[in-house]
Amino acid sequence: MMAKTLFDKIWDAHVVTSIEGGQDILYIDRHFIHEVTSPQAFDGLAQRGIGVFRPDKTVATADHNVPTKHQDQPIEEPLSRFQVQKLVENCENFGVELYGLGHPYQG
C-alpha cells in the first residue's frame, strides 16, 4: 500500500460519499468570500429569505479592490468603494466574520 499524500489525507477526511463514476461529494468546511462576487450571492440569499449556511465557517475579506498601502484613506474608484462597502454591510446583516481594512488577516 502506498503512503498517502497530505492532499489525499485532506481529501479523504472531507468525503461525504462517493458516487458512481468515481466522483466524490465533499464537505467544504471553510468558505472564503470577497467583495467582487459575494454581493450577488448575498442578494440571492436575501431574495430567498434565507441566511448563510454555517456563517461560523465563513470568512470575508476585501482583497481585490483595496489599496496595499494607505488603507486608512477612502477608496477612490466608485465601483471598488461600493463593493467594499457592500461586503461590510452584507457581513453585518448575515453574521459573517469580516477581516476588514486594517485587520491583520485582511487580504
Grid coordinates representing 64 are: 481585490
Structural domain total, the chain: 1
Task: Judge whether 93 lies within some domain.
Answer: yes
The domain of 83 spans 30-99
Phi, psi of 90 (to 5 degrees): -65, -40
Task: Judge whether 2 lies within some domain.
Answer: no
Confidence (pLDDT) at 1: 75
Burial (CB count <10 Å: 0-12, 13-18, 19+), residue 25: exposed
Task: Judge whether 84 lies within some domain.
Answer: yes
Tell me the pLDDT of the chain (107 aa) as tens digits. 789 999 999 999 999 999 999 899 999 999 999 999 999 999 999 999 999 999 999 999 998 988 878 877 888 899 999 999 999 999 999 999 999 888 888 87
Separation CA 64–CA 35 (nearest Å): 7
Task: Judge whether 21 lies within some domain.
Answer: no
Task: Judge whether 35 lies within some domain.
Answer: yes
Question: What is the rounded radius of gyration, in angstroms, for the C-alpha atoms of the chain?
Answer: 18
